[in-house]
């Protein structure tokens, strides 16, 4: 048995999504269904729930049965929501919610290889297919490995970590989570903030293995294309790299100063805002929620309402 997932910022998500009777919502990150359940309980609406992890979808069948046809489960990536939903006969949505990252059951299952606190295979694939973290760690040259750890983990000592990994794997391949965690801990100075030094390297590998930033960009654009005027987009992030992308996407699409970034090229002049922001700043959890669920600590919610304007032209996603 794995632990349950405590939904983060659930009340704030509901307030921002504002579910109404007769409408159709996408929960793009079903997990253990905490958000889907809350939405279905808040209004007599339909929820289409997507998760790329086959385990999450399999576990969700009981919940789906209890909502009498109002909850449809689909395995896939939210970045491909247009195709996934079209196959399910859905062309337009009244709301989209994305609660990014891994769920507690994924993190707590040592066999999935996400945790540096328990020993397991160095896997980290949410989808259970594609390249594993072990293949990245044992296969990349030192320089690209350091770049990956620096960019996706925001690790200042990335060169040092990459060098230690390459030295260790010259002796034998790095196959397990605890093996990698120990190599990183041995390579880095003792942390004064109490954060395990392996945190940032594990984060970088997880984001890379699951192409989480590319998925986010595709998901935001797909949501823009699928939402009806008045429909709502709600995104909860746990990582500053993701939050920055959501912030820049919504800021530029809502007529705020667009940011110059290679990830978000400047729009053509004259495009009408396709979103209007619900809050000026991201919403963060209060002390009570953080005390009850420490995982909520780094969460930030951003939300916007779709305008009547056409979706902006698609740029190439990463
Ligand atoms: C933080 S959990 C969501 C928890 C959920 N809100 C709940 O209340 O139970 C994130 C979930 O999203 C899934 N996920 C992550 N990236 C995804 C993607 N690109 N497409 C579909 N599912 C994804 C993960 O497999 C995980 O189950």
Tell which of 140, 175, 209 closes a domain: 209
Q: Is residue 271 part of a domain?
A: yes
Which of ligand 1's atoms lies nearest the C-alpha of 37?
A: 8
Q: Is residue 290 part of a domain?
A: yes
Report the chain's mean pLDDT, rounded to a whole number. Answer: 93
CATH number at residue 99: 3.40.50.150
Measured distance CA(101)–CA(94) in Å, rounded: 23
Q: Would you say the CB of residue 114 lies under 6 angstroms from ligand 1? A: no
Burial label for 196, CB within 10 Å (0-12, 13-18, 19+), is middle
Closest residue by Cα to residue 53 from 35, 77, 71: 77
Same domain, 151 and 178: yes
Measured distance CA(21)–CA(40) in Å, rounded: 9
SS3 126: coil
Say how many Å lie between the CA of residue 30 and the centre of ligand 1.
Answer: 5
Q: Would you say the CB of residue 52 lies under 6 angstroms from ligand 1? A: yes
Measured distance CA(177)–CA(113) in Å, rounded: 6
Which of ligand 1's atoms lies nearest the C-alpha of 105?
A: 27
pLDDT higher than 60, residue 258: no
Same domain, 25 and 161: no
pLDDT higher than 90, residue 261: no
Same domain, 99 and 223: yes
Task: Provide the number of structural domains found in the chain.
Answer: 2
Q: Is residue 4 part of a domain?
A: no
> What is the span of the domain harbouring residue 273?
10-105+211-306
Tell which of 174, 209, 244 closes a domain: 209
Residue 179 φ/ψ region, left for φ over 0, alpha for ψ in the -120 to 50 degree band, beta for the rest: alpha
Same domain, 226 and 277: yes
Q: Is residue 118 part of a domain?
A: no
What mean pLDDT is predicted for residues 69-81? 97
Candidate of 6, 26, 28, 31 to mutate for ligand 1, largest count of ligand atoms within 8 Å of Cβ = 31
* Residue 256: per-residue pLDDT: 79
Q: Would you say the CB of residue 153 lies under 6 angstroms from ligand 1? A: no
Residue with tokens 């889907």: 36
Candidate of 36, 41, 42, 52 to mutate for ligand 1, largest count of ligand atoms within 8 Å of Cβ = 52
The Cα-based distances of 269 to 114, 245, 252, 273 in angstroms read 43, 21, 12, 11
* Residue 318: per-residue pLDDT: 41
Within 8 A by CB and 6+ apart from 258, the residues are: 248, 251, 252, 264, 266, 267
Provide the strand spans (E) within the chain.
24-27, 46-51, 71-75, 93-99, 227-237, 275-277, 300-306
Q: Is residue 164 part of a domain?
A: yes
Q: Which pTM does this prediction carry?
A: 0.93
Tell which of 155, 176, 209 closes a domain: 209
Say how many Å lie between the CA of residue 259 and the centre of ligand 1.
Answer: 28
């Amino acid at each position: 048995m794995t632990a349950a997932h405590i939904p983060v910022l659930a009340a704030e998500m509901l307030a921002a999504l504002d579910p109404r009777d007769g409408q159709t919502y996408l929960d793009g990150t079903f997990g253990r269904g905490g958000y889907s359940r809350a939405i279905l309980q808040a209004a007599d609406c339909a929820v289409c729930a997507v998760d790329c992890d086959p385990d999450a979808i399999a576990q969700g069948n009981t919940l789906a049965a209890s909502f009498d046809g109002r909850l449809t489960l689909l395995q896939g990536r939210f970045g491909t929501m247009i195709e996934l939903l079209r196959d399910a006969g859905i062309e337009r949505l009244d709301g989209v919610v994305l609660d990014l990252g891994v769920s507690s059951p994924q993190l707590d299952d040592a066999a999935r290889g996400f945790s540096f606190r328990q020993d397991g295979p160095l896997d980290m694939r949410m989808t259970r297919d594609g390249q594993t973290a072990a293949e990245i760690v044992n296969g990349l040259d030192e320089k690209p490995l350091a770049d990956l750890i620096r960019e996706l983990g925001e690790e200042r000592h990335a060169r040092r970590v990459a060098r230690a990994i390459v030295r260790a794997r010259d002796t034998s391949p790095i196959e397990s989570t605890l093996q990698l965690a120990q190599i990183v801990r041995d390579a880095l100075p003792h942390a004064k903030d109490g954060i395990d030094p392996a945190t940032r390297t594990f984060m970088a590998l997880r984001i890379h293995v699951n192409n989480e930033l590319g998925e986010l960009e595709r998901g935001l654009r797909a949501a823009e294309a699928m939402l009806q005027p008045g429909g709502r987009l709600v995104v909860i992030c746990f990582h500053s790299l993701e939050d920055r992308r959501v912030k820049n996407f919504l800021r530029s699409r809502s007529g705020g100063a667009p940011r110059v970034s290679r990830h978000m090229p400047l729009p053509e002049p004259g495009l009408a805002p396709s979103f209007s922001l619900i809050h000026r700043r991201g919403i963060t959890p209060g002390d009570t929620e953080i005390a009850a669920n420490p995982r909520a600590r780094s969460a930030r919610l951003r939300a916007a309402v779709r305008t009547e304007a056409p979706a902006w032209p698609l740029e190439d996603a990463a």
